[in-house]
Amino acid sequence: MASISDSMLGHIVRCNTSAEIWHTLEQLYSTKSRARTLQLHLLLQNLKKGSMAIDEYILKMRGVADNLLAAGQVVSDDELILYVLGGLGPEYESVVINLTSCQESIIIQEVQFMFQNQEMRLEQLNSSGLPDLTNPSANYANSKFKSSGGNFSGNAGVFRGGYRGRGRGGRNNGNLFVKSVARQVT
């Protein structure tokens, strides 16, 4: 008992024989314990990719599935794939949709290859220096545009001097924004 930590002593203090001690320790550390398998299932359900690379994330998920296998519970590829999909962010949504609409069975290695391709594509797009077209109002506010009617800045009203309502009226420069965004893209 001299080599047992104080925290473990509470578990074995009532044991009378070494066989009882070993049996108690086996129950505590058994990989087949119900608490351990529940913990591993919870980990599979809650593990998120976050900032991990896709390979690291899937490797971690496989490790948890392997621990469940060691505990006597098999996690099929379909189940593992669903757990993997549940932990991904919106940047992988297109691949997730393709996988969930696939009629044929697919193995985890193929899924990993698909996500590796998506990850490489995302890295390529992020490093290409393309303008961010997801927020055209930011491009509009930070630019000055020329038109036949004079200078327009981000603060100038698009309809100034133009059409303001019903009836007959002057010209409308409302399409100026669309033209200027198109010029920025090309």
pLDDT at 148: 47
Rg of the chain (C-alpha set): 31
Q: Judge contact between 99 and 113, C-beta under 8 A.
A: no
- Which own/partner pairs from 53-59 qualify as long-range (CB within 8 Å, at least 24 positions apart)? 53/119, 54/112, 54/115, 54/116, 54/118, 54/119, 55/112, 55/116, 57/84, 57/87, 58/84, 58/108, 58/111, 58/112, 58/115
- Model confidence pLDDT, tens digit, residues 23-38: 888 777 665 678 888 9
- Model confidence pLDDT, tens digit, residues 124-146: 988 876 555 555 555 454 444 44
User: What does the pLDDT average to over 165-186?
Assistant: 49
Q: Residue 19 pLDDT more than 80? A: yes
pLDDT at 71: 83
Do the bridges between strand 150-152 and strand 145-147 make them parallel or antiparallel, or are there none, so unpaired? antiparallel
Q: Residue 160 pLDDT more than 80? A: no
pTM listed for this prediction? 0.54
pLDDT at 155: 47
- Model confidence pLDDT, tens digit, residues 45-75: 999 999 999 999 999 999 999 989 988 899 9
pLDDT at 9: 79
- Model confidence pLDDT, tens digit, residues 76-125: 999 999 999 999 999 999 999 988 888 888 999 999 999 999 999 999 98
Q: Residue 147 pLDDT more than 60? A: no
Q: How many residues does the chain have?
A: 186
Higher pLDDT, 71 or 44: 44
Q: What band does 43 get if pLDDT is binned at 50, 70 and 90?
A: very high
